[in-house]
Structure 1
Amino acid sequence: MEFLTNNIQMYMPYIAIALAVIILLQFILIIVLFRSVGKVEKKYRKMMRGVNNKNIEELIISYLDRVDEANNNSQNAIEHANLLEEKMKSCVQKVAMVRYKAFEDVGSDLSFSIAILDENNDGIILTGIYGRNESTCYAKPIDKGISRYDLSEEEMTALNNAINKVKTTV
């Protein structure tokens, strides 16, 4: 036992230095760990902001419910847009007008033909013929770009101009 005590006393300065180095390394390790814990705590507080005594599972479930609600709203908006697009096919989309002089004794291009069509080229042609003593206005139905009534040259021009109009989409 005395041998052990003598050896310990002889190497005491080296043991003290080694212990001081170990304590210094542990102190540095503790500082690094406190910083790491501080960063994790900051992230945790940021993630849990606005939450009072809720656990993370409830928080995630509430956010997933919000995502589902947003998906449902988006799907409803898409369906509504498709319905509106379908309804728009029957709305007026193509209009063309031709003005002309129907009679030589009338001074200006006061007569007209207007073609009003939807996407399927269904609609009407309105024609107004202006004369010095009388004026006449009449309409002819158009079905798929064709009239079952005879069309004048001006009415055909208005119809072809309307049919050839390019549909603009948003």
Structure 2
Amino acid sequence: MQISRELVIFMVIIVSLSIILNILQLMWLRKLTSHYNSLTQGIDKKSLMNVLQGIQHTIAQHERIQELTKNELQKLKESEILHIQQLILKRFNPFGDTGGDQSFILAILDGNKDGVVITSLHSRENTRFYVKSVEGGMGIDHPLSVEEQKIINRERPNKL
């Protein structure tokens, strides 16, 4: 029985590749063993188990704390809409016979456009203040003037 030359060359290549692969695996295994030995230096099997259990316990604690923190953050996000978010001031001159922009509209609103609008109208004889409650961008007890409504509904509100 005669083996062809190509078959012998093929088998030599396969054996050579196997030897190279085994050498690479041996190098990788030595590196891994060295790393493992440096991590477990001075630790017996029992204390290593304690260390691993401690790490698992710590991870579980951190996961619980993370969940609590996430819930608290969600509560803060939900409640922040109820805090003052828009403080809008517009000065103007409603009467032509007075000098300067002595009158103003001040809107203090939360994220739902609830709050108050304070309007001051200044004339030569006196200054009048009007305070109106606002809910959802609309006056509750008293209708808002056109100017007050414009201030509340403007596109770019001032954020605190």
Gaps of 5+ in 1: 1-34
- Tell me whether 1:150 sits opposite 2:138 in the alignment: no
Aligned residue identity for 1:146? M
TM-score by length of 2: 0.69
Alignment partner for residue 114 of structure 2, among 113, 122, 129?
122
Partner of 1:88: 80
Q: CA distance change for structure 1 residues 104 and 121 in 2, over 3 Å: closer, same or farther?
A: same
Extract unaligned runs of 5+ from structure 2: 1-26
Instruction: Quote the residue 1:4 is aligned against.
Output: none
| Cα distance, 1:38 vs structure 2 | 6.2
In 2, Cα distance between equivalents of 1:40 and 1:74: 33
TM superposition score normalised by structure 1: 0.65
In structure 1, the residue matched to 2:95 is: 103
- Asked whether 1:160 is paired with 2:153, we answer yes
* 1:61 paired to 2:53: yes
After TM superposition, give the deviation of residue 95 of structure 1 in Å.
3.0
Offset, 1:166: 6.5
- What is the number of residues matched between the two proteins? 132
Deviation at 1:52, TM superposition (A): 4.6
Higher strand share: 2
In the alignment, what sits opposite 1:140? 132
**Percent of aligned pairs with the same amino acid:** 23
Shift of 1:142: 0.6
CA contact (8 A) 1:98 1:154 kept: no
Specify the SS of the correspondent of 1:46.
helix
1:3-52 superposed Cα distances (whole Å, 9 cap, x missing partner): xxxxxxxxxxxxxxxxxxxxxxxxxxxxxxxx888645531233226x65
CA 1:86–1:167 in structure 2 vs 1: closer, same or farther (change >3 Å)? farther
Q: Which has the larger Rg?
A: 1
- Report the CA distance shift for 1:58/1:166 in structure 2 as closer, same or farther (over 3 A): farther
2:52 paired with 1:45: no
Q: Deviations over 1:67-110 (max 9, x none)?
A: 11111111111011011111101011123232210222211111
